[in-house]
Structure 1
Amino acid sequence: MQLGHDAKWIKRFTALSKLYFTPTFLGAEHIDASKPAMYVGNHSIYGVFDSPIIVDYLFNEHKVAVVSIADHSHFYVPLWREIFKKFGAIDGVREYVREVMRQGYSILVFPGGGREVSKHEGEQYQLIWKERYGFLKLAQEFQYDIVPFAALGGDELFEIGLDAKTITDNKYFKKLLKIPKLDQLLRHGEVIPSLPKNVIPKRLPFYFQFLARQSIAHIQTQEQLIEYREQLQYTIYNGIETLKQQRHLDHPERF
């Protein structure tokens, strides 16, 4: 599989975002470019502001050859698809992921996927992973460590004007979902985004924290896998709370 990483393009593309959101990165000691890993964290609403900054930081600042696993929908639109490819993103098909792991790339994964970027009111900073374990099984298969990370700021950029639940709970929308192909395309309504009050995001500082590497070589059973995933979520939630405390120290007048 040919990947489209373009380091200069990534840096140029994220330059304005970095100026606007002034990101702070913590936990650089847990990033090791010499050993591929799976970087796992929380996804923000809409997912288009903080994830490019993470890719830029790992790829350009730490020389981590990272491949971002993107939702299938990003690859339906030609121009949008090319932008994602330049960031080294690939469609989240399991065999595609296997191929880049065979090549030794690190993986950036947001297990919440399309549902986590389509947040409803009150779901800020919630991990909506459902019953997904495939990313952990791939990490086991290729003996990748897990590097958890927490991201703060992205879920506060917009105030929700029209909650997606208003649409998905509508009786006429539910009738539309009775059309099998439409129901499949909209994933039972899960990828309907909430609409913001304003199109321009608030100017808030972004914070990212990379946490200690975790080996999952010891996991042998499904029960252990379930327990580990719960612990991983707990680690990320703790990371988010730590970042909130740090943000308050840095900007006591605002937070």
Structure 2
Amino acid sequence: MSNYLDAAIATALGAGDRFLNIFGLDKDYLTGGYDQLRSFLGPHVQYPLGLIGLDVDYLVWLLCVLAPIIFAFVLPLITVTVFYLCICVINFVKFKHHFYQIGHSGNWRKAGRLACAIMWRTLGRLWHGYEVRGLDKLPINAESPAMLVYYHGEMPIDCYYLMAELVLQNNDKTKSVADRFVFQLPGWGAMLEAFNVIRGTRSECEEAFSQGYFVLLAPGGTREMLYSDANYDIHWGSRLGYAKLALKAKVPIYPVFTRNIREVFRFVRIRPFWNWQLKLYERFKLPFVLLYGGFPSKLVTFIGDPIMVESEENMAVEDLNERVQSALKNIIDNVQPKPGKIIRAFLERFHPVQVSL
């Protein structure tokens, strides 16, 4: 065994030496290093390795085999991780004065919201190259409420990213509506409260509008998350509550869509298991689904032109709902390739596609 191993190692090292010789390195660069490593390890590890049935030759061979993996993947990954940690630290330091002021005011919710916003924006920009186009369309006046209606993907991380951008741009008056099951998750209460996430009841939304908040919601909700797919069809059913609220509060509605939002996470849609999962949702109103992904796909959020809402007397709820769905569908048709492809969305990180509304 040892002779065959020695021959294999010698052959590999010889080939490596000939390749490195092209770049002007010593003729026996790898072979000499291997001999030095073997002579160094021999006296120290021969006995303990013998106790477990290994020898120095095997250990050195194993190191030679694993070296390309270590240098190609492990060490770069460690380096990149250190860089990302540094970026997070720099972002926190950048906003340290804001943290200091908020901390001394005793507003733990606002301090926590700012901390979460920094982390979400850092993650979005680094992992997804996240961008928002159309922020300038939103009301500048801090007392002007608005409703932002968005398409719900498998995982609404675009909602978190958009809220983070709004918080860090001194627009801290944004609330997001989440499905009721989210509030039942253990340990999530304080985070949802700090990040202004509400259940979306009529009273909560009306109060938010009266205080000048932006309310970010997805009329399709969990149903759209489950029943839509890579073709990005809108699934709102007969849900008209958002339109009734907008008409009563007379707030403008902004359609919002994120390109490639379904190319980050995917559900395991294997039949008949997928049909069973949908039946469980219809029965318990909980998403019993298997999720995979976290792919670094390019994400770009587009905010459309506002749909100005008239009084309830001059506009029917159904007409407003149709206008909003039509506006959102037009954005999807203009900016989203169908069907969505994970590879294509990933490559857009390096070859951005110029898309505009």
TM-score, normalization by structure 1:
0.78
Residues 1:38 and 2:38 aligned together: no
Question: Aligned to 1:239, which of 331, 334, 355?
Answer: 331
Q: Could you tell which deviates more after superposition, 159-168 or 58-67?
A: 159-168
Distance 1:126 1:193, change over 3 A: farther
The residue aligned with 1:226 is: 318
Distance 1:28 1:201, change over 3 A: same
Map 1:144-163 onto structure 2 (within 5 A). Answer: 144-163=251-270
The residue aligned with 1:86 is: 194
Q: 1:211 is matched by which residue type in structure 2?
A: G
The residue aligned with 1:181 is: none
Question: Aligned to 2:295, which of 198, 202, 210?
Answer: 202
Question: Aligned to 1:188, which of 267, 283, 294?
Answer: 283
1:4 & 1:238 partners in 2: Cα distance? 37
2:124 & 2:153 partners in 1: Cα distance? 15
Number of residue pairs matched? 233
Whether the aligned pair in 2 keeps the contact of 1:151 and 1:206 (CA below 8 Å) is yes
The residue aligned with 1:214 is: 307
Q: 1:229 is matched by which residue type in structure 2?
A: N
Residues 1:65 and 2:173 aligned together: yes
Question: Which structure has more RCO (C-alpha within 8 Å, separation ≥ 6)?
Answer: 1
2:194 & 2:224 partners in 1: Cα distance? 23
The residue aligned with 1:108 is: 216
Output one character per residue of 1:130-185: Cα deviation in whole Å (capped at 9) or x when no partner.
11111111112122111111111221123443458735448xx96xx7xxxxxxxx
Bigger fraction of residues in strand: 1
User: Which sections of structure 2, spanning at least 5 residues, go unmatched?
Assistant: 1-106, 338-344
Q: Could you tell which deviates more after superposition, 156-165 or 202-211?
A: 156-165
Whether the aligned pair in 1 keeps the contact of 2:307 and 2:324 (CA below 8 Å) is no
Q: How large is the RMSD of aligned CA atoms in angstroms? A: 3.0
Deviation at 1:211, TM superposition (A): 1.1
Q: 1:118 is matched by which residue type in structure 2?
A: L
Whether the aligned pair in 1 keeps the contact of 2:116 and 2:164 (CA below 8 Å) is no
Whether the aligned pair in 1 keeps the contact of 2:268 and 2:274 (CA below 8 Å) is no
Bigger fraction of residues in helix: 2
Deviation at 1:124, TM superposition (A): 4.5
TM-score, normalization by structure 2:
0.58
Distance 1:159 1:139, change over 3 A: closer
SS at match of 1:79: coil
Distance 1:20 1:238, change over 3 A: same
